[in-house]
Amino acid sequence: MIQRSALLFLTVVAATSIAAAPLSFVKDIMPVLNKEGCTSGPCHGGAKGKAGFKLSLRGYDPEFDYRAIMHDLSGRRFNRTESEKSLVILKPTMGVPHGGGLRFDTDSEYYKQLLQWMREGAVFGDPVSATVTKLDVEPAEIFVPKAGPAQKMKVVAHFADGSQRDVTKLAQYNSSVPQTAEVEDSGEVKTIRQGEAAVMVRYEGKLSVVPVTVLAGKTGFNWANAGENNYIDKHVNSKLARLQLLPSDLSGDAEFLRRVSFDLVGVPPTPNEIRAFTADKTETTKKRTAMIDKLMARPEFVNHWSVKWSDLLQVNRTKLGEKGAWAFHEWIRDSLAANKPYDKMVKELLTARGSTYQNPPANFFRFTAEPKVAMETATQLFMGVRMTCAQCHDHPFEQWTQNQYYQLTAFFGKTAVKSGMDSEEGVIYDKREDFDIKHPKDGRVMNPKFLFANDKFGVKDEELRESLATWLTARENPYFAKAMANRLWSYFMGKGIIDPVDDIRASNPPSNAPLLEALTKDFLEHNFDVRHLIRTIVNSRAYQLSYKVNGWNGEDELNYSHALPRRLSAEQLFDAVQSATGSKRKFPEVPEEAKAQDFVDPHVAKGGFLDLFGRPERQTSCECERRTDVSLVQALNLLNGSMIADSIADPEGRLAKLLVKNVSNKELAEELYLAGLGRYPQASELVKADEYLSKGDRGERAQDLMWALLNSNGFLFNQ
């Protein structure tokens, strides 16, 4: 009996001790500071802090924040005798003036929690046991038949010590598309209109994404089998059916030919090519597949895709020298012409040494001369991973840490550039000493280490870049093939499945994950064959849909239910004007027959039409540098600029030759429509053209007609 009483007494004491365990900074207070925005960039988490008080951005460094509160400025922020008079609690409650305004009042749970922590001794706590290992969010998906309903989420955090806690009130929420779904600080999601969004739920370094789908709320939806040309259509149609989105009809032959010509070879089809293709009575799928193969065999295919790679690899004589730029450009062309496997091409870039003239891929290290720049460029360009944020602190929305940033940079620590035989030639070599990459906080040397481990790959000290290239391009790397598959898809569909294409992270989920996985798998199974993946995409029915919407898909811009019109790139627009008018613009540095897509770098025709319409200067490897917007200045240039006017009036051009032949008004209009818009004129358009050409000076009015066509959306956009 005595033993049982003693046991009962000890149990009660133990339970009381557990219940009375003091609050800790890392587990109980840091989440409050994060929730209330104290550690955000605009507040004390900024690079310089705010009003003399600096905290780590979004609380990634609790130890630093604890020291700032408890010990900075001789500990003036914490009153050790009267906790309620501490600045750390007076400021957010406006007990004293606070630039950040009222964060919480003295009746709030946060106030009581902060006060209790200070009265209990302001314990820091065990950062290991307080580490959040997982977030459980309910519901895992929000799917509603129409806008209006609200959904309350519940967030449970799991900690390294095995405990768990409901952190719904302390978690932070953000909607990727607030016009579709708004999310309150309490975790309540309000659906606003038809569409899709992703609600990001963050708590102490962990992130969970909840997809939100809001249907149109219409009745009478009936999915009709839209047909499938390949596996792409299976995945696209599967999601369209779920979202009650009917795909548009298949594009017409002329519409398809113009679109695929611009996308594959960068130039429009000629009037005779359009006539022949539309007159061909071969079954549609077979006819289009044959045309795709024909276009991909043309030399313009290599020229067009060389522009894209020259953009990404910053082929620019201001960085590489004129001879270096030409050598690098020719290496890109030769690689594409030979259909060099993508992984081999990347390996050659990352491991290149020697003269930038004799070994052109070595130019990669001319525009990424610093180890940090080389690492950031390689990961963003070839993996779609942006490591820049981790340079100064652990990534706030991803798993990447500051340690990993410098460990990965260490692979390029030995790489150096020296001058060659002339001032513009570079020689890439590996230094033998003084190549250590040090952590900026404590100066410790960072050893090379991959972002994620794989037993198949090791780090060889004498072959650091070779080790990195092998790991980065491996089939086992979950980012490498996926990033390229996603990038290629965006070129043809106007938007990446993950968009932007070079920002792959958990908080930026794919719009159609099964589709992206299928594209990636196909790319891997065909040994990184870029041409194969291009051919597969353009052969899909999804790519060949019309841009004209129906009653079910008019609001859709994410799920490829119809083609998205894309403004022609600067080079495409320039070459399209020349093709439509039959005029040739002459530049001193290039042959007369050269097209804009043949120009080696932005130095050619600098400061003119191409730059106005968004040709990049090639200062970064980001897709965002190339602009495809439509501006007032561009519109005025098309309306009044010399480029369009001189090309139309060229005495050696298409229009002048047609007028000399004295073709009929119908023939003239048909030729101009085919040359400019890539289609036959409609019957009503022919009537109007005939009426206009018959009244007044025929030559001037013919120029007016062509001018109107070249200023229309049908010309400016690939649709």
Answer yes or no: is pLDDT of 427 > 90: yes
Q: Which is more confident, 421 or 335?
A: 335
Answer yes or no: is pLDDT of 319 > 80: yes
- How far, in Å, CA of 132 to CA of 122, rounded? 21
What range defines the domain where residue 592 resides? 570-613+630-718
For residue 15, what pLDDT band results from cuts at 50, 70 and 90?
very low
Supply 251's token pair: 């594009």
Same domain, 525 and 589: no
What is the DSSP secondary structure assignment for residue 227, as one 8-state letter?
-
Q: What is the mean pLDDT of residues 518-526?
A: 98
174 beta partners: 200
* 428 contacts 348 by C-beta, under 8 angstroms: no
Least confident segment among 10-14, 126-130, 248-252, 596-600: 10-14
136 beta partners: 156
The CA–CA distances, whole Å, from 485 to 203, 520, 546 equal: 32, 6, 23
Same domain, 643 and 543: no
pLDDT of residue 299: 96
* 181 contacts 197 by C-beta, under 8 angstroms: yes
Residue 585's φ and ψ, nearest 5 degrees, are: -80, 135
Q: What is the mean pLDDT of residues 462-478?
A: 95
For residue 20, what pLDDT band results from cuts at 50, 70 and 90?
low
DSSP 230-269: SHHHHHHHHHHHHTT-PPPPBPPHHHHHHHHHHHHHSSPP
Q: What is the mean pLDDT of residues 309-318?
A: 96
Residue 319's φ and ψ, nearest 5 degrees, are: -100, -35
Q: For residue 288, which amino acid is it?
A: R
| CATH number for the domain harbouring residue 185 | 2.60.40.1080
Same domain, 106 and 151: no
* Placement of tokens 């992206």 in the chain: 516
Q: What's the domain count of the chain?
A: 5
pLDDT of residue 441: 82
Same domain, 453 and 527: no
Is the peptide bond between 139 and the residue preceding it cis, with omega within 30 degrees of 0? yes
pLDDT of residue 8: 37
Q: Which is more confident, 433 or 127?
A: 127
Answer yes or no: is pLDDT of 152 > 90: yes
Same domain, 471 and 497: no
- How far, in Å, CA of 34 to CA of 40, rounded? 7
Answer yes or no: is pLDDT of 7 > 70: no
Look over the chain and give the mean of its residue pLDDT values, rounded to a whole number: 92
pLDDT tens, position by position, 259-281 = 999 999 999 999 999 999 999 99
Same domain, 332 and 472: yes
For residue 397, what pLDDT band results from cuts at 50, 70 and 90?
low
- CA torsion 609→612→614→620, rounded to 10°? 110
Supply 397's token pair: 């929305």
pLDDT tens, position by position, 368-389 = 989 999 999 999 999 999 998 8
DSSP 100-138: T--S--TTSHHHHHHHHHHHTT-B---TTTT-EEEEEEE
Residue 177's φ and ψ, nearest 5 degrees, are: -135, 85
Contacts of 413 (CB under 8 A, 6+ apart): 371, 435, 436, 437, 448, 464
Same domain, 327 and 468: yes
pLDDT of residue 550: 95
Q: Which of 214, 243, 277 is the last residue of a domain?
A: 214
Q: Is the dihedral of CA 486, 492, 497, 499 positive or negative?
A: positive
Residue 527 lies in a domain: yes
pLDDT of residue 251: 98
Q: Which is more confident, 77 or 574?
A: 574
Same domain, 353 and 473: yes
Supply 417's token pair: 């550039």
- How far, in Å, CA of 545 to CA of 282, rounded? 19
pLDDT of residue 9: 36
For residue 323, what pLDDT band results from cuts at 50, 70 and 90?
very high
Q: Which of 447, 477, 507 is the last residue of a domain?
A: 477
pLDDT of residue 224: 83
DSSP 554-581: TT-SSS-SS---EEPPHHHHHHHHHHHH
pLDDT tens, position by position, 622-651 = 999 999 999 999 999 999 999 999 999 999
pLDDT tens, position by position, 35-70 = 998 988 889 988 788 888 999 888 888 999 999 999
pLDDT tens, position by position, 526-564 = 999 999 999 999 999 999 999 999 999 998 999 999 999
Percentage, residues of the chain above pLDDT 90:
79
DSSP 589-642: TS-TT--GGG-SSTTTTTTSHHHHTT-----SS-GGGS-----HHHHHHHHH-H
Q: Which of 17-21, 430-434, 456-460, 477-481 has the highest mean pLDDT?
A: 477-481
pLDDT of residue 5: 40
Supply 623's token pair: 């897709």
Residue 245 lies in a domain: no
Same domain, 276 and 359: no
pLDDT of residue 396: 63
- Pairing assessment for the beta strands 188-191 and 150-152 based on DSSP bridges: antiparallel
pLDDT of residue 525: 98
pLDDT of residue 18: 42
Residue 7 lies in a domain: no
Answer yes or no: is pLDDT of 456 > 90: no
* 627 contacts 652 by C-beta, under 8 angstroms: no
pLDDT of residue 566: 97
Q: What is the mean pLDDT of residues 496-525?
A: 95
Residue 537 lies in a domain: yes
Residue 220 lies in a domain: no
Answer yes or no: is pLDDT of 179 > 70: yes
Answer yes or no: is pLDDT of 477 > 50: yes
Q: What is the mean pLDDT of residues 292-306?
A: 98
- How far, in Å, CA of 21 to CA of 275, rounded? 83
pLDDT of residue 10: 33
Same domain, 59 and 74: yes
Answer yes or no: is pLDDT of 13 > 50: no
- How far, in Å, CA of 27 to CA of 295, rounded? 61
Supply 225's token pair: 């089998």
Residue 621 lies in a domain: no
Supply 406's token pair: 């410098």
* 62 contacts 127 by C-beta, under 8 angstroms: yes
427 beta partners: 355, 418
Residue 102 lies in a domain: yes
Task: Give me the count of residues in the chain.
Answer: 719
**Number of neighbours of residue 338 by Cβ within 10 angstroms:** 10
pLDDT of residue 67: 92
Percentage, residues of the chain above pLDDT 70:
97
- How far, in Å, CA of 652 to CA of 650, rounded? 5
For residue 3, what pLDDT band results from cuts at 50, 70 and 90?
very low
Residue 347 lies in a domain: yes
Same domain, 469 and 506: no
Answer whether 0.75 is exceeded by the pTM.
yes
pLDDT of residue 617: 96
Same domain, 46 and 107: yes
